[in-house]
Amino acid sequence: MINLQPSRDVFITCAVTGSGDTTGRSDKIPITPQQIADSCIGAAHAGAAVVHIHVRDTKTGTPARDPALYAEVVNFIRESKVDMVLNLTSGMGGDMVFGSAEDPLALNEKETDMVGATERLEHVTNILPEICTIDCGSMNFGQGDYVMTNTTSVLKEMTKQVQALGVKPEIEVFDTGHLQFAIWLKEQGLIDDPVMIQLCMGIPWGAPDDLHTFLAMTSNVPKDWTFSAFSISRNQLPYVALAVLAGGNIRVGLEDNIYLKRGVLATNEELVEKAVQTAQGMGCTIMGPQDVRDKMKLVKRWG
């Protein structure tokens, strides 16, 4: 049974571009560092306290892992003087694309991108954002032969390095076992209080976004942890209300959903505005960046 928790302080994260194959379906997806930074700034003005950042190849729009691109995005944001909490992905570098069903070890070398923990965190080490994400497990991801690959040893090393940097890990939980693994990492002393996690619902083939599964996830989140939750596509905006009711915080953005409503392409700013309207209509107060830093004990290293 859900313990309804409206009328409280909540924060909004905007995941501005992601690494999905969305650039061919929407011309609103930011691609270049300037476009990504501008989208972060627009989301912040609309009410997002946190911006979650991936980067893309500037010519093709495909996902990239180049630390120089991250540096460009962050420099543009810092030059704008608009305050926001920076949350950089560290999910890139864990992409395994196997060969055919009959020859799986003939890897698709063009699409496979597997590197060590230190290289996956190079941009985090250089920039020192307040937050970086840790994808807390492996899973089949959509169709075909792609596997999001995060071994126990890699995740332990990544959390160890992030802890030493003084950057807060946001643990990305795509399924119930990922949550249990996050609890184990905390028990190993690799995640400092206060713990911050993101429940990623409705992603094939992770935890479905039905209410029973969502309640199973939220009921197992330790009571002293702070969680956000989202779903993808048409269920992104309904999950704004559901996350609030469950006692969590909000994530929206073009990484997870490109539509404002049926047939109408969205911008990040518009999705954040919708989230603000929903949360405020439920009696919530929208937290600003400094509120989030104070709550989560985040270290801001830029003026």
Could you read off the pLDDT of 38-72 as tens digits, one per residue?
Answer: 999 999 999 999 999 999 999 999 999 999 999 99
State the CATH number of the domain containing residue 144: 3.20.20.70
Residue 244 lies in a domain: yes
* Domain tally, the chain: 1
Query: Rounded to an integer, what distance in angstroms lies between the CA atom of residue 127 and that of residue 57?
Result: 19
Q: What is the pTM of this model?
A: 0.95
Identify the band that residue 8 occupies on the pLDDT scale cut at 50, 70 and 90.
Answer: confident
Is residue 205 reached through a cis peptide bond, with omega within 30 degrees of 0 on the bond before it?
yes
Residue 115 lies in a domain: yes
Q: What is the mean pLDDT of residues 126-130?
A: 97
Q: Which is nearest to 76 in space by CA: 106, 125, 34, 110?
A: 34
Quick: pLDDT tens for 209-252.
999 999 999 999 999 999 999 999 999 999 999 999 999 999 99
The share of the chain scoring above pLDDT 70, in percent, equals 97
Residue 73 lies in a domain: yes
Does the structure show a pLDDT above 70 at 266? yes
pLDDT at 6: 65
Residue 2 lies in a domain: no
Residue 259 lies in a domain: yes
* Domain residue limits at 68: 9-296
Residue 83 lies in a domain: yes
Burial of residue 203, with CB atoms counted within 10 A of its CB: 0-12 exposed, 13-18 middle, 19 or more buried: buried
Residue 221 lies in a domain: yes
Residue 302 lies in a domain: no
Does the structure show a pLDDT above 90 at 18? yes
